Structure 1
Amino acid sequence: MSTPSQTVGPFLSIGLPWEDGPDVVAIDEPGAVWIRGTVFDGEGEPVPDALVETWQADAEGRFDHPDDPRDARSRDFRGFGRCPTDEHGAYGIRTVVPGALPGQAPHIDVSVLARGLLSRVVTRVYFEDLDNDGDPVLAVVPAERRATLIAKRTEDGYRFDVRLQGDGETVFFDL
């Protein structure tokens, strides 16, 4: 007998804190930027108990992972960040802008977990001031929805809001 599916509950943060939290790179990493934003629900209200996770290549387009033979150079580059939203639905990940992967524009993979979701939703962050032309994933997204995947430049990094449903819903990928 299988157990019925359930949504992520209000105690999402129990057991999920991660030691390095939102720091994908060391505090003194040259060129570090913040990716900040707010997670919104279908009514446009901030989600105060969501969790945002990121996975990315380093500034040279290499991953800190055994399957990447190119090997990320910095010992302080983790490639992974995790940040719970605050009471206003805001999150922040301190990282570097990733380098391009072969055949792809620079991007960061993002997972969001929140109450009311049966499982995580997955999207990508692209950067408004980088060349996104020719990216095969972005190319399959309808032109009128691509803006939901593009982070806007700010003073200390980029802004990327996530809309879980409704008007301006972020494009999510079915994995």
Structure 2
Amino acid sequence: MSQTPSQTVGPFFSFALPYEEGPLVVPEDHPDMIELRGRLLDGAGEPVSDALLEICQPGLFGRCETGADGSYRFRTARPDGYIPLLIFARGLLKPVWTRVYLTAEAPFPAEVDPVRRSTLVAVPEGERSYRFDVRLQGDGETVFFAY
């Protein structure tokens, strides 16, 4: 018997997966609250408008759809090390996983090419705000990890 080939069907992310409080992981008055925002871009640098992003920290979980311009925004707690970020998007048979570090001085995994480490570091945009753009492929592609 031959194996059935994998196929991309959908995406159907906007049906039932998102929820109103999804990107609001912690209350606004949380002492370690930060805002993480950015854009999801394809290999040509164009926005991916129909994706779903998830973050998962100890005891915290958030889910956010991308907007028409590929934008996303989470309100979460400052991590001890990094924020795991999972991306579900059209054309991906499986989600891709990366890490968001808030500082370039963070201890990075040894397997990350030093030239590409900057794709894992969020840019501060104020005291409690960070920007982290994700590039799915091409020049400036974000480092993704196997899990």
**Deviation of 1:3 (Å):** 4.2
Q: Identity across aligned pairs (percent)? A: 53
What is the DSSP-based 3-state SS (H/G/I as helix, E as strand, rest coil) of the residue aligned with 2:115?
Answer: helix
Indicate the RMSD between aligned Cα atoms, in angstroms.
1.7
What is the DSSP-based 3-state SS (H/G/I as helix, E as strand, rest coil) of the residue aligned with 2:122?
Answer: strand
Q: In structure 1, what is the Cα distance between the partners aligned to 2:88 and 2:9?
A: 7
Q: Which runs of no fewer than 5 residues in structure 2 stay unpaired?
A: none
Q: In structure 2, what is the Cα distance between the partners aligned to 1:8 and 1:157?
A: 35
What is the DSSP-based 3-state SS (H/G/I as helix, E as strand, rest coil) of the residue aligned with 1:148?
Answer: helix
Q: Is 1:158 aligned with 2:124?
A: no
What is the DSSP-based 3-state SS (H/G/I as helix, E as strand, rest coil) of the residue aligned with 1:143?
Answer: coil
Within a 5 Å distance, the mapping from 1:94-173 to structure 2 comes to 94-99=75-80, 106-128=81-103, 131-133=105-107, 135=108, 137=109, 139-155=110-126, 156-173=128-145
Q: In structure 1, what is the Cα distance between the partners aligned to 2:8 and 2:28?
A: 35
Q: What is aligned with 1:28?
A: 29
Q: Deviations over 1:40-90 (max 9, x none)?
A: 00111010111110011xxxxxx22xxxxxxxxxxxxxx111100000000
Q: Which runs of no fewer than 5 residues in structure 1 stay unpaired?
A: 57-62, 65-78, 100-105
Aligned residues: 145
Describe the shift of the 1:109–1:8 C-alpha distance in structure 2 as closer, same or farther (beyond 3 A).
farther
- Runs of 4+ aligned structure 1 residues displaced above 4 Å come to none
Which structure features the higher share of strand residues? 2
Within a 5 Å distance, the mapping from 1:28-67 to structure 2 comes to 28-56=29-57, 63-64=58-59
Which residue identity does 1:85 align to in structure 2? T
